Copies of this chain bind each other. A is one copy, B any other.
């Protein structure tokens, strides 16, 4: 396939490398040209602009961290809406909010293009090894055309529905469940610390029992070790997601009280200077609220 790729950050560069290895023709673009170097070395064509990237592409993937970034790329002059060929697919693989997805759907439909939303689950190491989870939302025919790409990028694909926003809702729901799990661990660790329990013991109880899953093992270990400075996903990035989650609840009229607590602790963490720490620092903020940290 003729594929375009915009956004060669930590996730995107691994995904692009997989696509090249899969034998596809790939053009890449990033606002930071240095980001395209490794893809170029692996055989990708480096486009000079979004418009240039779109020439003759069947599918253009966007993997951008911010809703504002994908909006700029899609709606700006010479952007995807203006430049994608009729019949082409904008495959949006970042975690974007419902309002953005709806705007993209409408804009591409007006230009006889199609939006497929396929946010991914997993971190950069899984992206590099083609082991991501993928949640797809969009018309059956368009999603079917993307399947060859899903197969080389991901380990598992989940079909959310024929509306792109369904995929976005699932990704946001997944992140909501994760944020709440970390916040709940934070509350639990603060509680037991006040009763002179070694945090490692609670960690063992949780992960040997009902919570023997990555969410608890990965983030629980960071909490036990207090190793918040090696950030995988930062507090700041999680606030972006939390705001998308709360906005999705707003649009759908779903009160999300646990989600609010997750978001409130993120705000408190940032107010206390922890924006760049790992999201597990929710437990640090909870400890602070409990008088455990000066």
Interface residues of A (CB under 8 A from B): 98, 121-122, 133, 135, 156, 158-161, 163, 165-166, 168-170, 172-174, 176-178, 180-181, 183-185, 187-192, 194-198, 201-202, 204-206, 208-216, 239, 243, 245-246, 248-250, 252-261, 263-265, 267-268, 270-273, 289-292
B253, A205: Cβ atoms closer than 8 Å: no
B184, A177: Cβ atoms closer than 8 Å: yes
Known: A191-B254, A192-B173, A250-B243. A158 touches B201 (CB 8 A): yes
Nearest chain B CB to A122's CB is how many angstroms away? 8
5 sampled A-B residue pairs with Cβ under 8 A: A160-B201, A173-B191, A176-B191, A184-B258, A187-B258
Nearest chain B CB to A289's CB is how many angstroms away? 5
A178 vs B185: C-alpha distance in the bound complex, in angstroms? 10
Chain B residues, CB < 8 A from A212: 212-214
A271 vs B287: C-alpha distance in the bound complex, in angstroms? 10
B169, A195: Cβ atoms closer than 8 Å: yes
B248, A268: Cβ atoms closer than 8 Å: no
Nearest chain B CB to A203's CB is how many angstroms away? 10
With both beta carbons as reference points, the residue of chain B lying nearest to A205 in the complex is identified as B158
- Interface hub of A185, A192, A214 (most chain B Cβ within 10 A): A192
Chain B residues, CB < 8 A from A197: 160-161, 166, 169-170
B180, A181: Cβ atoms closer than 8 Å: yes
- Interface hub of A198, A255, A289 (most chain B Cβ within 10 A): A255
B191, A177: Cβ atoms closer than 8 Å: no
Chain B residues, CB < 8 A from A198: 161
A154 vs B159: C-alpha distance in the bound complex, in angstroms? 41
A194, B261: Cβ atoms closer than 8 Å: no
A173, B161: Cβ atoms closer than 8 Å: no
Chain B residues, CB < 8 A from A161: 195-198, 201
B264, A291: Cβ atoms closer than 8 Å: no
Nearest chain B CB to A185's CB is how many angstroms away? 6
| Cβ contact of A177, chosen from B194, B195, B206, cutoff 8 A | B206
Known: A191-B256, A264-B257. A181 touches B178 (CB 8 A): no
Known: A191-B252, A268-B255. A202 touches B185 (CB 8 A): no
Known: A177-B206, A208-B133, A213-B216. A257 touches B254 (CB 8 A): no
With both beta carbons as reference points, the residue of chain B lying nearest to A183 in the complex is identified as B258
Chain B residues, CB < 8 A from A163: 195-196
